[in-house]
Amino acid sequence: MSKENRAGIADVAARAGVSITTVSHVLSGRRPVSDKTKAKVLRVVQELDYRPDPSARGLRTGRSEAVALVVSDVTNPFYPQMAAGLQDVLQPQGFLISICSVRENSEDLDAALRHLLDRKVDGVVLASLTAQERHYAAITDAGASLVRLSGELDPRFGDIVRADDTGGMADAVTHVLERGNRRIGFVNGDPDTAPGRLRLAGYERALRDFGVEFDESLVVSGPFTRAGGVEGAHALLALDPAPEALVCANDLIAVGALDAVRERGLSVPRDVAVTGFDDIEAASLLSPPLTTVHNPAREIGRTCARLILERLSEGPAQGAREVVLPQKLIVREST
Amino acid sequence: MSKENRAGIADVAARAGVSITTVSHVLSGRRPVSDKTKAKVLRVVQELDYRPDPSARGLRTGRSEAVALVVSDVTNPFYPQMAAGLQDVLQPQGFLISICSVRENSEDLDAALRHLLDRKVDGVVLASLTAQERHYAAITDAGASLVRLSGELDPRFGDIVRADDTGGMADAVTHVLERGNRRIGFVNGDPDTAPGRLRLAGYERALRDFGVEFDESLVVSGPFTRAGGVEGAHALLALDPAPEALVCANDLIAVGALDAVRERGLSVPRDVAVTGFDDIEAASLLSPPLTTVHNPAREIGRTCARLILERLSEGPAQGAREVVLPQKLIVREST
DNA sequence: ACCCTTTTGCAATACGTTTTGCATACGATG
DNA sequence: CATCGTATGCAAAACGTATTGCAAAAGGGT
C-alpha cells in the first residue's frame, strides 16, 4: 500500500542534475561519460535504488537478461545440477534462469521455444534429445544464443558442451585393470544411443591402451535399466571362465549387476568388481558404495553459461565451439 | 534472416477489418464482442500467428504471465519434482516458470525477490526456510500472489501448502504394527526441526491408536544423515530385548539403519523391519528396496499452481488457506 | 585567442500493448 | 417510430526505457 511510486530514469536524472540521456549512457556505457558525472549518477542510482524496468527495457531493446534451460525431464537429477551451474555464473550477472521441461516430442518443444523467444530470452541451453534443425534455427533466428548438449557441431547453430563419456569410461576400465583384473565384462545400454556408443568406445580404448585383447563375447547390450543390468550381468557371469569385473554403462545397470552378483551368491568386490557411470545419488548409498564416473553436470552448466555470456558480449559472428569436459572417476568400495 | 517482421495487433486489426480496440477486447474479453467478429478476429490471429508481445503487455499491465519458484537448493530432488507439478498446471496456461535457487541467507533471498518482482512475476512459490516476514511482505506488496511451503498461516501472507508428515509417519508405523511387530524403535533426526517434530508425533499417534504403550527408550535422535542412522540403529539394536522394527525419520537415516543391521549380522526384513521417509531415488534401488513414505512433491507443485491461479483470477481479497496433502506409504521389501 | 576533443543536453521517436470516454452504428423490442 | 441495449470505432494517453543526430558547452593544448 505504499504510495510512492518507484523511481524512474527521469527521477534519477533530475536528482543528479543531468539529462536522461546521460543517465542512460552511464548505465549502458554506450557513450563516454566523465568520471565525475558518472560517479554522481551512480550515487543517485544507489540512493533511489533505481533499477530499470525490465519490461520497458525489453520492449525497447529486444532483450531480457534471461536465459532458458530447456530439458526433457526436470526430474532427471542431472538437469537441476546443470541449472545450479547456470545460476553460479548467471545469477551474479543479473540474469534470470527459467527452466522449461518438455516431453520428448517436437510439438512441445515448438511451443516452449515460441514462448521463450516471445519473451526475448537472450540465450537457450537446449538439452532436449529430440531437438531438430528447425528448433536450432528458430532460436538463432530470433537472435538468441544457443548452446546444445548434443548433436553435431554446426557453425550456424551455436556451441556445444558435453562431457567426455569415452574418456570417463576409459578411466573406469583402466582403474579396474590396474586392480589386476584382465577379464572384464561390459554391460552396455542401448548401443544405438550416443552414450552407449561413446562409453563402449572408452571400454575398447582402455583395453587397447593397456594391451589387453578385446573379446567380443564379454560385451552385452540391453536397456539402460536395472532389469537390463540384471540380465546382462547374469549372461556374463555364466561364462566360463567368468569375468573378474563388470563395467556397466550406467549406474542403474550397475545396480542390476549388483543384484545379479548377489543372486549368484558371490560378493562384491571380492569375487567380482562392479563399476557404474553417472554417479546418481543412490550410488554412494548402495552397499557396497559404487565406484562410478561422475558427470560434471554443474561444471557443464557453468560452461554453458560462460559461452552464452561470451556470445552476448562479442556479438553473433563467430564460429561454433565444442567444449568437452572431463568426467571424474569416483572410486568407492565396489572395486 | 527473414525480412518480414512479426505481426502486431495493428496488422491483425487491419486484416480482420476491425479496430485495434476490438482485437484487444476479443483477446482480453473485457468488453462484449459479437460472436461473428470474435470468430473473424480469432481466425486472423491464427493466420498471422499473432501473439502479443510480453514486454509491451508487461509494461502496460504490470504483469508477466510468469511464476517463480524460489528454493534453497535446486539440487534437492524434491524441488524439481515440485517444479514439474507447477509446470503441469501452469505451462498449459501460458505461464513461464522460473526457478531461483538461493543460499539460505536473507541477503540472497532479498536480491532474488527484487529481481523477480522487478520482472513483475505474477506469483511466487516460496520454499526457502529462512524467509521472514519482510520477504512475504515484499511479495504481496508488489502485488504478486504468494504460496509458501512452511511457516505460520497469516491472512496477509498468502496460502500454505504442505504434506502431512504426521499422518504419513503414522501410516508407516501402523503398517509395521499390522505386520505383527510391537516393539518398534524410532530413529529420529533433529527433533527441533519441523519434520522431526511432526514425524515423531505421527509415531506416537499410531502407537496410541493401536493401543501400544509408548516407550521413551525406543526413541533416539540424531542428524538426518546416514551416519546418524547407523548410530541410532546400533543404539536401539543393542537393547534387550531388541526392537523388531526400526522406523526412521528419513531415508538417509534408514540407509544407515540398514548398514547397522547388516553389521550386526542380522537380516532385513527377517530379523528386523526398516522403514524410511521421503522416498528418495535410492530407496527403490537399495537391497532390500526400502518401504518408505512418498512425499507428494509433484502434487504439492500442482496445488501451489492452482492456488496461484485462483488468486490471480479472483483478485487479491481473500483469506489465507492451508492445504495439507496426504503422504503416501510405499510398501517395498524392507518390512 | 584558437582549434580540437571530449562531454553533455535536447527533443523526438520508437518499442507494442492496454485502456478509456465518448460517439456511432446496429438490431431488436415495445 | 421511438427507444434501448449491445457492438464497435476513434483517438489518445499511458507504460519506462534506449537511441540518435545535432548542437552547445566545457576543457586542454598550442
In chain B, where the domains are located: 9-52, 64-163+297-326, 165-294
| Interface contact B285-A226, CB threshold 8 A | yes
Average pLDDT over residues B184-190: 97
What pLDDT score was predicted for residue A315? 65
Q: What percent of chain B has pLDDT over 70?
A: 98
Which of the four pLDDT bands, split at 50, 70 and 90, describes residue A330? very high
Closest amino acid to nucleotide C8 (CA–C1'): A22
Q: Is the CB of B36 under 7 A from strand C?
A: no
Residue A92, burial from CB neighbour count under 10 angstroms (0-12, 13-18, 19+): exposed
What pLDDT score was predicted for residue A151? 86
Q: How far apart are CA B253 and CA B233, in angstroms?
A: 9
Please name the nucleotide lying closest to A31, CA to C1': C7
Per-residue pLDDT for B313 more than 90?
no
What pLDDT score was predicted for residue B6? 86
The x, y and z cell numbers of residue A34, run together, are 566523465
Q: How far apart are CA B84 and CA B165, in angstroms?
A: 21
Q: How far apart are CA A154 and CA B77, in angstroms?
A: 34
CA-nearest of A140, A146, A107 to A123 is: A146
Per-residue pLDDT for B314 more than 90?
no
What pLDDT score was predicted for residue A4? 54
Which of the four pLDDT bands, split at 50, 70 and 90, describes residue B3? very low
CA-nearest of A167, A169, A138, A133 to A151 is: A133
A150 close to A165: Cβ distance less than 8 angstroms: no
DSSP β-ladder status, B292-294 and B328-330? antiparallel
Which of the four pLDDT bands, split at 50, 70 and 90, describes residue A104? confident
Q: How far apart are CA B204 and CA B212, in angstroms?
A: 9
The C-alpha of A173 sits at a distance from chain B's nearest C-alpha, in angstroms, of 24
Buried b (16+ CB within 10 A) or exposed e, A159-174: bbbbbbbbbbbbbbbb
For the stretch A246-267, pLDDT in tens is 999 999 999 999 999 999 999 9
For the stretch B203-262, pLDDT in tens is 999 999 999 999 999 999 999 999 999 999 999 999 999 999 999 999 999 999 999 999
B275 close to B335: Cβ distance less than 8 angstroms: yes
Is there a shared CATH topology between the A9-52 domain and the A64-163+297-326 domain? no
For the stretch A115-154, pLDDT in tens is 999 999 999 999 988 899 999 999 999 999 999 998 889 9
DSSP 8-state class, residue A217? G
Give the residue with greater pLDDT, A104 vs A288: A288
CA-nearest of A51, A92, A306 to B101 is: A92
CA distances from A106 to A109, A112, A206, B164 (A): 5, 10, 38, 38
Q: How far apart are CA B237 and CA B264, in angstroms?
A: 9
CA-nearest of A61, A52, A39 to A11 is: A52
Write out residues 69-108 of B within 8 Å (CB-CB) of A.
74-75, 77, 79-81, 83-84, 87, 94, 96-101
A196 close to A190: Cβ distance less than 8 angstroms: yes
Collapsing DSSP states into helix, strand and coil, what is residue A100? strand
Per-residue pLDDT for B17 more than 80?
yes
Q: Is the CB of B50 under 7 A from strand C?
A: yes
| Interface contact A120-B55, CB threshold 8 A | yes
Per-residue pLDDT for A207 more than 50?
yes
What pLDDT score was predicted for residue B298? 96
CA-nearest of B8, B326, B4, B54 to B167 is: B326
The domain made up of A64-163+297-326 has a fold known as Rossmann fold (3.40.50)
What pLDDT score was predicted for residue B283? 95
- Bridge partner list, B219: B186
A255 touches chain B (CB under 8 A): yes
Please name the nucleotide lying closest to B25, CA to C1': C18
Residue A275, burial from CB neighbour count under 10 angstroms (0-12, 13-18, 19+): buried
- Backbone φ and ψ for A126, nearest 5 degrees, come out as -105, 115
A285 close to B286: Cβ distance less than 8 angstroms: yes
The C-alpha of A31 sits at a distance from chain B's nearest C-alpha, in angstroms, of 26
A287 touches chain B (CB under 8 A): yes
What pLDDT score was predicted for residue A3? 44
Establish whether the linkage from the previous residue to A241 is cis, with ω within 30° of 0.
yes
Spell out which residues of chain A touch residue B259, defining contact as CB-CB under 8 Å: 287
CATH for the stretch A165-294: 3.40.50.2300
End-to-end CA distance of chain A: 64
Which residue in A97, A141, A280 is closest to B99 by CB distance? A97
Collapsing DSSP states into helix, strand and coil, what is residue A155? helix
Longest distance between any two alpha carbons in chain A, whole Å: 88
What pLDDT score was predicted for residue A153? 92
What pLDDT score was predicted for residue A5? 72
Which of the four pLDDT bands, split at 50, 70 and 90, describes residue A280? very high
CA-nearest of A59, A8, A84 to B64 is: A59
- Backbone φ and ψ for A96, nearest 5 degrees, come out as -100, 140
- From A28-32, A263-267, B267-271, the region with the lowest mean pLDDT: A28-32
For the stretch B118-134, pLDDT in tens is 999 999 999 988 899 99
Q: Could you tell me where the beta strands, DSSP code E, fall in chain A? A: 66-71, 96-101, 123-127, 145-148, 159-163, 184-187, 219-220, 245-248, 273-275, 292-294, 322-325, 328-330
For the stretch A64-97, pLDDT in tens is 999 999 999 888 889 999 999 999 999 999 999 9
CA distances from A239 to A218, A219, A243, A244 (A): 9, 12, 7, 11
Which of the four pLDDT bands, split at 50, 70 and 90, describes residue B168? very high
Per-residue pLDDT for B2 more than 50?
no
CB-CB neighbours of B31 under 10 Å = 10
Per-residue pLDDT for B191 more than 60?
yes
Mean pLDDT over the full length of chain B? 94
DSSP 8-state class, residue A70? E
Per-residue pLDDT for A2 more than 60?
no
Considering the four listed CATH numbers 2.60.120.10, 3.30.70.640, 1.10.443.10, 1.10.260.40, the one that applies to the domain covering B9-52 is 1.10.260.40
Q: Is the CB of A32 under 7 A from strand C?
A: yes
Average pLDDT over residues B41-70: 95
> What does the angle CA A280 – CA A286 – CA A292 come to, to the nearest 5 degrees?
45
